[in-house]
Amino acid sequence: MALVTLPESTASTRWRFTAGRVAVGLALLGLGYRLAMLLAEVPPSNSDEAVTGLVAVHVAQGRAFPLFFYGQYYMGALESYLAAPLLALLGSSTFLLRLPNLLLYAAFLALMWRLTRRLYTPWLATFTVGLLALGSDRILKNQLIAAGGYPEMNPAGALLVLLAVNLGLGAVRRTGPAYAGFGLVAGLTLWDDWLVLPYVGVAGGLLLAARWRQLTGRPRLALGAGLLVGLVPIVVHNLTAAPEHRSLAVYAALGGGAPASWPDRLGGAILLGLPMGTGLCDPGRCAPWQRSWGVVLPLLLVAAVVLAGRGLLRADQRAERIRQGGRLALAVGAALTLSLYASSSAAANTPVESARYLSCLLISTPALLWPLWSALTRPGDAGVPVPARRLVRRAAAVPLVALAGTMALASVALVGASPGLSRQAEQRRELVTALDRLGVRHFYAEYWTCNNIIFLTRERIVCGVIRNDLSVGWDRYPAYPEQVAGASRPAFVLPVGSGLSAAVRDRLAGVDPPHVALTTAGYDIYLPADRVDLPRRPASAGGGPAVPGGPG
């Protein structure tokens, strides 16, 4: 009996592992990992994210259309507008609030594949996607938590660099929409979050260097029109806001706390913030061996700048100059981001929390990998002995494997910690159930509890923030504390063992008639039999979170 066989070419095509197919598989693994974490409510939500949800609820109801998150005048409320349709249709939940961010992550992977393939090689693009599919605690917080522009910054930065490269190479059929899209995204970043501005700058510089002769007529009009549309939110804000609330004044007032010396800033930025921000550390901590990457990564960055700069000077073809310019743009964007972070006192004072400010470094992943990757894959020179070539390749392979392994271990550490982290979401639901059972509709609590409960109950239960001295705390939305202050017998809901719980217990000890106290879901709940007046102090005196923008 004759055997039927496929032609060799057909069989090899069917079963061959191409760079693109492997990249798709890795991307699906990254998406599946993040979807599982979303379903498990990991990383835990916080009160800042709940504010994003409340803005989305108000937008969905047509009650308000704020440009910024409540209680601040920086970080545009784009995430709230993205989530508003889902909340309007399906109700309030952390999963729905974060779901658009999963789509933004998918877009980031696709953009990084195309950008890396365009500037470097297909298999480096695949390796890059594989690293970006992993996710430590800090990385998933940046990518999934809807609390301040982080999920959309990386897709925006990668898109701008890719557009600049493709326009420079003449690889775009319809240049008008491409120029308009570049201007639109660049303009929106000034409203959304300024942390991505280094990449906006290098992408804009690359575009101007590559196409300045062509930026006349329709291309210039398209770029200008897109930019003007993107700038509308920030322009409207600065034309209508009080002087102290305008963008430059707000950003000038932001800081990282107490002043710190340059050695402390550099130490915090390089040895802790950098490995933490690039996904190389366990949840909330960075072991000494993980911190050592803080020394390696800057060396790779310097090598990337040197290689790209030398390649740009030596390039004799336009296409090669554009590619080398794109590589240099990624390296310079990373250098600017790290330099700006190191210049902030936050790098010294709160390096674990403020490592989120390095989120955009992921855009430069292929640039950091290229010095090692090129040494690993470059054909050997005829004059170099074979043993020497093998030694160079092994020397390049070891840090690449170690980097992937370290990121994988950090991801495994998050998976191991996820049951305990998921428990926080369960406790919030248990608390809501207890408050409903007790008939509580108004209560006082600390900042990190209030907005979570208000969002999860879709404002059915309302909270006001108080400090440890029981005075008025920092409420992002003034209507809520006003409702609580007007209630007849607001309750007190404080974390078990907290100083605030002890202060409330002492305050109620002398109140007659006596109060009812019980503990559930990690909270002490105090139910006064009569109204308890509290000392009041202007909210402007402080009382918000210790680190602007959340606990990280």
Report how far residue 85's alpha carbon sits from residue 82's, in angstroms, rounded to the nearest whole number.
Answer: 7
Determine if the peptide bond prior to 513 is cis (ω within 30°). yes
H helix or E strand, kind and range, residue 116:
helix 94-119
- Taking only the tens place, the pLDDT of each residue in 339-359 is 999 999 999 999 999 999 999
Q: Is 493 helix (H, G, I), strand (E, B) or coil?
A: strand
Q: Is 363 helix (H, G, I), strand (E, B) or coil?
A: helix
- Taking only the tens place, the pLDDT of each residue in 231-240 is 999 999 999 9
Report how far residue 229's alpha carbon sits from residue 300's, in angstroms, rounded to the nearest whole number.
Answer: 38
Which pairs from 22-29 meet CB under 8 Å and 24+ separation? 22/126, 23/113, 23/125, 23/126, 23/129, 23/130, 26/126, 26/129, 26/130, 26/133, 27/106, 27/109, 27/110, 27/113, 27/129, 27/133, 29/133
- Give pLDDT, residue 7: 44
Beta strand pairing call for 442-445 and 523-527: unpaired
Q: Residue 361 corresponds to which tokens in the numbers above?
A: 């470094």
Report how far residue 476's alpha carbon sits from residue 464's, in angstroms, rounded to the nearest whole number.
Answer: 10
Q: Residue 478 corresponds to which tokens in the numbers above?
A: 């003034």
Q: How many other CB atoms are there within 10 angstroms of residue 91's CB atom?
A: 11
Report how far residue 80's alpha carbon sits from residue 49's, in angstroms, rounded to the nearest whole number.
Answer: 10
- Give pLDDT, residue 351: 92
Report how far residue 150's alpha carbon sits from residue 127's, in angstroms, rounded to the nearest whole number.
Answer: 23
Where are the chain's structural domains? 18-251+264-419, 439-541
Q: How many other CB atoms are there within 10 angstroms of residue 429's CB atom?
A: 12
- Give pLDDT, residue 380: 63
Do the beta carbons of residue 550 and residue 49 sit within 8 Å?
A: yes
Regions of the chain with pLDDT less than 50: 1-13, 15, 539-552
- Give pLDDT, residue 6: 40
